A and B are shown apart, each in its own frame.
Chain A
Amino acid sequence: MRTRKTTLAAATAATTLLLASPALAQTEVQWWHAMGGSLGELLENITDGFNASQDDYVVNPVYKGEYNETMTGAIAAFRAGEQPHIVQIFEVGTATMMAAEGAIRPVYEVMENSEIEFNPDAYLPAVTGYYTTTEGDMLSMPFNSSTPVMFYNKDAFEEAGLDPEAPPRTWPELEEASQALLDAGYECGFTTGWPSWVQLENFSALHNVPFVSGANGFASTDIEALFNSDLHKKHIGKMVEWQESGVFSYGGRYSDSRPKFVSGECAMYTDSSANRASLVAGIEDFEFGMAMLPYWPDAEGAPQNSIIGGASLWVLEGHPDEEYEAVAAFFEYLSSPEVQAEWHQKSGYLPITQAAFELTQEQGYYEENPGADVSVKQMNLNEPTENSKGLRIGNFLQIRDIINEELEAAFSGDKSASDALDEAVERANGELEKFHRQNN
């Protein structure tokens, strides 16, 4: 079995060499990613730019499907000894990757071992916070990070007698605005994408309360879920009430609630800032604005900064040292202000460095595209605290599923918000315990 695989690999390698004979001296780097469609094209443009900028290295991007398919594919490849150099992993997989000592090579090590100067302070702290250890060592390269914001329908606001330039800043204000919209004949006030990410994870960061113990999972894997505090229960309880009254309308676990906003059914919509590009392209009937996520004004510490979602680039072990030089060179290119600014502007993701943000400002992009900087502003609202630095949770995929299930039970009226959250915490603790065992 093994020999056959080796022969096959050798044959593939030989073919690749034959095909790429002019580039014989170049070191090739495999990059598995999950960016389909226009984002994928954009990503390939960036790699082409890198490949054209020098003669020593070639980066070869390969689309591997959705986030979880890419991650599973990379893990399976690692188990078979055929892993790529770089793989794009969504933030939910961070703890799994981090725990895989021996399988990943931390980015700070890759950069240290190369000749390239690398300053982790050039990156936005709220972005890198997610991907660095408590000692400040960067483990993976931030790439496409987004944060949830609120989109709102300006035409609907006007129709309901609300000020289209003053979107609600707090939940009570949002409730009031929704009531006005309902009175004006709208079917629903607001809907949300990614309920767990927006309404619980970011909600916790925004209100400066912990989501899990152990510095939100950064300090240890021996942790407990804490998202059933009174504040969480109050918020979800309100959402359940609002689901009844029409202020809120549940639209699914991912971004499947977007049609509710695009069709004009719901006038407000909280979801990832990365939706901006597709909303600009998809909405013709009305003008929409962007605002920060609402918060509860009576909660102490609100509003804090929000936290990110999206993905980062992990380097996998098991390749010759000189190939990691190529990875380092590529990462340097990737974080240059020009490349980052272009990626940020065209995709709707956050800029990962301060310089890229400033460059975008200088280019006058935010004046031409009002609202495009809301996400950056929200991320930089305050110095990140222990509760708003990010989340590092093992078995996070399962835990998100659990949360989604329990939230659905609450929104459909099968359970009270308080019971649903208590049960979600209990079930999540089972997963956390299992992860702790698997990795110790």
Chain B
Amino acid sequence: MLKRVHFRRSYLPYLLVLPQIVITLVFFIWPALQALYQSLLIEDAFGLSYEFVWFENFIALFQDGSYLYSFKITIIFSAAVTFSAMALGLCFATMADRVIRGSSIYKTLLVWPYAVAPALAGALWAFMFDPTLGIISSFLKSIGYDWDHRLDGTDAMILIVIAATWKQISYNFLFFLAGLQAIPKSLTEAAAIDGAGPFKRFWTILFPLLSPTTFFLMVVNVVYAFFETFGIVHAVTDGGPSNSTSILVYKVYKDGFINLDLGSSAAQSVILMVIVISLTVFQFRYIEKKVQY
């Protein structure tokens, strides 16, 4: 018969998590509730008068073609950024993992872009691709492609995907590299002795063993693409041309902080919150099952 373990009732654990709970309440739950309340109001910018309108802001959003369009491009944008930032990060990590001589220099250089603020990263790429002055756009022109992200929505989307990806590669690179270095060399060596080529070794041994890292990075990258890219959009395209790069988070920022339409902006942030919560739940419930720790 097993002996039952009795823990003495103690307040210590509660006390220890208290600071975290307080911080969460003050900085996350409270503002979230505020946003929820604000999303039910129509209010003037100065806060001198307001009207309680129930869900009118939400209804207006879903009747607004540009908001639905913003949904579509956000999905395209975040899928493109997540995929390319992770693929490139993994690619660089595998290469850096094989380098023996001067590897720290490669690593440092690859991590650098992460230190650049999103708005600066955006400005940098916007300058290189400037239709009149940019070096890349003049190169593209010389090979017959007339680049103009100020007028062509696809060009603009490609440009913000490049800028957002470039900034995130470093982060993915670091985690993938750490993941790769944690895999015992003996596994790949054994496979090599059995005659498996580098590609076979990567896809059958390294990549499956990286799955926890890959899963973690996927969650982080999706959140990054959804929330932290508005600085890039702001600096590069301002959501244009013709709304083609106005992703959800940028629209929240623009309607709230620039256009001062607080009700609509709050409603949008509530929707964004719901989307990200459900995306995270989805990832952990369904995709995590494929992950072997």
Interface string of B134-168 (1 = CB under 8 A from A): 00000000000000001111000000000000000
Whole-angstrom distance between the alpha carbons of A395 and B46 in the complex? 13
Q: Is A72 an interface residue (CB 8 A)?
A: yes
Asked if B259 and A397 make an inter-chain contact with CB atoms under 8 angstroms apart, the answer reads yes
CB of A181, distance to nearest CB on chain B (Å): 17
Whole-angstrom distance between the alpha carbons of A310 and B277 in the complex? 43
Instruction: Name the residue in B45, B238, B243 with the highest tally of chain A Cβ atoms < 10 Å from its Cβ.
Output: B45
Question: Per a CB cutoff under 8 Å, which of B43, B66, B132, B254 touches A251?
Answer: B132
Q: A96-B45, A100-B44, A103-B46 known; A395 and B259 CB under 8 Å?
A: yes
Q: A252-B150, A259-B132, A412-B152 known; A103 and B48 CB under 8 Å?
A: yes
Asked if B44 and A408 make an inter-chain contact with CB atoms under 8 angstroms apart, the answer reads no
Interface string of A396-431 (1 = CB under 8 A from B): 011001001110110110100000000000010000
**A207-242 with Cβ < 8 A to chain B:** none
Specify the chain B residue showing the minimal Cβ separation from A83. B46
Question: Per a CB cutoff under 8 Å, which of B47, B66, B240, B257 touches A253?
Answer: B240
Whole-angstrom distance between the alpha carbons of A263 and B130 in the complex? 13
Asked if A250 and B259 make an inter-chain contact with CB atoms under 8 angstroms apart, the answer reads no
Q: A408-B240, A411-B151 known; A438 and B132 CB under 8 Å?
A: no
CB of A316, distance to nearest CB on chain B (Å): 10
Residue numbers in A under 8 Å from B151 (CB-CB): 250, 408, 411-412
Whole-angstrom distance between the alpha carbons of A408 and B241 in the complex? 6
Asked if A438 and B43 make an inter-chain contact with CB atoms under 8 angstroms apart, the answer reads yes
Asked if B150 and A405 make an inter-chain contact with CB atoms under 8 angstroms apart, the answer reads no
Residue numbers in B under 8 Å from A4 (CB-CB): none
Q: A96-B45, A100-B48 known; A75 and B240 CB under 8 Å?
A: no
Whole-angstrom distance between the alpha carbons of A99 and B49 in the complex? 11
Specify the chain B residue showing the minimal Cβ separation from A438. B44
Asked if B258 and A68 make an inter-chain contact with CB atoms under 8 angstroms apart, the answer reads yes
CB of B273, distance to nearest CB on chain A (Å): 22
Whole-angstrom distance between the alpha carbons of A420 and B266 in the complex? 29
Residue numbers in A under 8 Å from B51 (CB-CB): 437-438
Asked if B259 and A251 make an inter-chain contact with CB atoms under 8 angstroms apart, the answer reads no
Asked if A412 and B260 make an inter-chain contact with CB atoms under 8 angstroms apart, the answer reads no
Question: Per a CB cutoff under 8 Å, which of B42, B49, B242 touches A409?
Answer: B242
Whole-angstrom distance between the alpha carbons of A409 and B238 in the complex? 15
Asked if B46 and A412 make an inter-chain contact with CB atoms under 8 angstroms apart, the answer reads no
Asked if A408 and B45 make an inter-chain contact with CB atoms under 8 angstroms apart, the answer reads no
CB of B252, distance to nearest CB on chain A (Å): 14
Q: Is B228 an interface residue (CB 8 A)?
A: no
Interface string of B235-250 (1 = CB under 8 A from A): 0001111110000000
Asked if A398 and B261 make an inter-chain contact with CB atoms under 8 angstroms apart, the answer reads yes
Interface of chain A, main secondary structure: helix
Q: A100-B48, A250-B151 known; A263 and B258 CB under 8 Å?
A: no
Residue numbers in A under 8 Å from B44 (CB-CB): 99-100, 438-439
Asked if B133 and A259 make an inter-chain contact with CB atoms under 8 angstroms apart, the answer reads yes
Whole-angstrom distance between the alpha carbons of A440 and B261 in the complex? 16
Whole-angstrom distance between the alpha carbons of A389 and B286 in the complex? 62
Residue numbers in A under 8 Å from B46 (CB-CB): 75, 78-79, 100, 102-103
CB of A424, distance to nearest CB on chain B (Å): 11
Interface size class of B (residues with CB under 8 A): 20 to 34
Whole-angstrom distance between the alpha carbons of A411 and B153 in the complex? 12
Whole-angstrom distance between the alpha carbons of A100 and B46 in the complex? 7
**A247-295 with Cβ < 8 A to chain B:** 250-253, 256, 259-260, 263, 265
Asked if A100 and B133 make an inter-chain contact with CB atoms under 8 angstroms apart, the answer reads no
Interface string of A54-95 (1 = CB under 8 A from B): 000000000000001000100100110000000000000000
Residue numbers in A under 8 Å from B260 (CB-CB): 72, 75, 96, 397
Asked if A438 and B242 make an inter-chain contact with CB atoms under 8 angstroms apart, the answer reads no
Residue numbers in A under 8 Å from B47 (CB-CB): 79
Whole-angstrom distance between the alpha carbons of A406 and B240 in the complex? 10
Residue numbers in A under 8 Å from B48 (CB-CB): 100-103
Question: Per a CB cutoff under 8 Å, which of A96, A397, A437 touches B42?
Answer: A437
Specify the chain A residue showing the minimal Cβ separation from B254. A401
Whole-angstrom distance between the alpha carbons of A397 and B48 in the complex? 20
Whole-angstrom distance between the alpha carbons of A404 and B243 in the complex? 9
CB of B58, distance to nearest CB on chain A (Å): 15
Whole-angstrom distance between the alpha carbons of A434 and B264 in the complex? 11
Residue numbers in B under 8 Å from A411 (CB-CB): 151
Asked if B133 and A263 make an inter-chain contact with CB atoms under 8 angstroms apart, the answer reads yes
Whole-angstrom distance between the alpha carbons of A408 and B242 in the complex? 5
Specify the chain B residue showing the minimal Cβ separation from A402. B66
Question: Per a CB cutoff under 8 Å, which of B42, B45, B150, B153 touches A75?
Answer: B45
Asked if B257 and A72 make an inter-chain contact with CB atoms under 8 angstroms apart, the answer reads yes
Whole-angstrom distance between the alpha carbons of A405 and B65 in the complex? 13
Whole-angstrom distance between the alpha carbons of A124 and B130 in the complex? 39
CB of A211, distance to nearest CB on chain B (Å): 19
Whole-angstrom distance between the alpha carbons of A427 and B66 in the complex? 10
**B27-73 with Cβ < 8 A to chain A:** 42-49, 51, 66
Whole-angstrom distance between the alpha carbons of A439 and B47 in the complex? 11
Residue numbers in A under 8 Å from B66 (CB-CB): 405, 427
Specify the chain B residue showing the minimal Cβ separation from A251. B150
CB of B293, distance to nearest CB on chain A (Å): 44
Specify the chain A residue showing the minimal Cβ separation from B263. A438
Whole-angstrom distance between the alpha carbons of A300 and B66 in the complex? 37
Residue numbers in A under 8 Å from B243 (CB-CB): 405
CB of A121, distance to nearest CB on chain B (Å): 31
Asked if A398 and B259 make an inter-chain contact with CB atoms under 8 angstroms apart, the answer reads yes
CB of A438, distance to nearest CB on chain B (Å): 5
CB of B104, distance to nearest CB on chain A (Å): 40
Q: A251-B150, A260-B132 known; A397 and B241 CB under 8 Å?
A: no
Whole-angstrom distance between the alpha carbons of A245 and B47 in the complex? 49
CB of A261, distance to nearest CB on chain B (Å): 10
**B100-137 with Cβ < 8 A to chain A:** 130-133
Residue numbers in A under 8 Å from B152 (CB-CB): 412
Question: Per a CB cutoff under 8 Å, which of B45, B49, B132, B242 touches A405?
Answer: B242
Specify the chain B residue showing the minimal Cβ separation from A414. B242
- Ordered by A's residue number, 17 sampled pairs between the chains whose C-beta atoms are within 8 Å are A102-B46, A250-B151, A251-B131, A251-B132, A259-B130, A260-B132, A395-B259, A401-B254, A404-B240, A405-B240, A405-B241, A405-B243, A414-B242, A427-B66, A434-B261, A437-B51, A439-B44
Besides A68-B258, A103-B46, 11 other A-B contacts (C-beta < 8 A): A72-B260, A75-B45, A96-B260, A251-B132, A401-B239, A404-B240, A408-B151, A408-B241, A408-B242, A412-B152, A434-B42
A interface residues, Cβ below 8 angstroms from B:
68, 72, 75, 78-79, 96, 99-103, 250-253, 256, 259-260, 263, 265, 395, 397-398, 401, 404-406, 408-409, 411-412, 414, 427, 434, 437-439
